[in-house]
Amino acid sequence: MTIDIESNSFERTLVIFKPDCLERHLVGLILNRFEDKGLKIVGIKMIWMPKEKGEIHYEQHKQKPFFDFLVQYITSGPVIVGILEGKDAISVVRRMIGPTNSREASPGTIRGDFSMSQQNTLIHSSDSIEAAKREINIFFKGEEVVPWKRTIKNRLYGEEELQ
C-alpha cells in the first residue's frame, strides 16, 4: 500500500537523522526544532539501514563518484527515520536544515548551527513531493504511519488545524 503524503492541505516529508547526528546526541535537539515550528510527527523509528535500502534511497546518485560514500555513510551506524507533517512541510523542513554544504549554511539552520562538513550533514529530508512519496514508501509501511488530531485549539497557522 502506498502511503499518501498529501491530505487536507498538509504535506508529509521524510527525515533521516544520520549516524553522525545520533553519535553526537543531536536527535532530540533537532526533533524539538521541528516540533517547535509546528510540524507533527506521524511516523518515527530507529533502524540500521541495510546496504540494499541505502542503495535504493540514493539511486538517483548511482552514477556519481560519491555514491559509494553516501551508501557507506548512511549504513555505518543506526539512523532514525521519521515522517513530519504540516503545511508546506517539504519546503519548511528543507529551509530549516540548510544547504548540503554545511559550511555554507546560515546560522539558525540545523546544518549552520551544528555541522562543518559537506559529507557528514546530520540529516536528510525529501526535496520534492515526488521524492517524499518515494522515500516514505521505502522506509514505512502504511500501518506505521499514525495520523492523529491535536486535541487543543491550534493557532499555528492562524486558523484551526483540520487534522
Q: Compute the distance between CA of residue 158 and CA of residue 45 in angstroms, rounded to an integer.
A: 31
What separation in angstroms does the CA of 121 have from each of 1, 15, 20? 31, 12, 8
Pairing type for strands 123-125 and 40-47 reads: unpaired
Active site residue 25: no
Are the CB atoms for 96 and 33 separated by under 8 Å?
yes
Exactly one of 25, 57, 61, 124 is catalytic; name it.
124
What SS3 class is residue 84? strand
Task: Give the catalytic positions in this structure.
Answer: 124
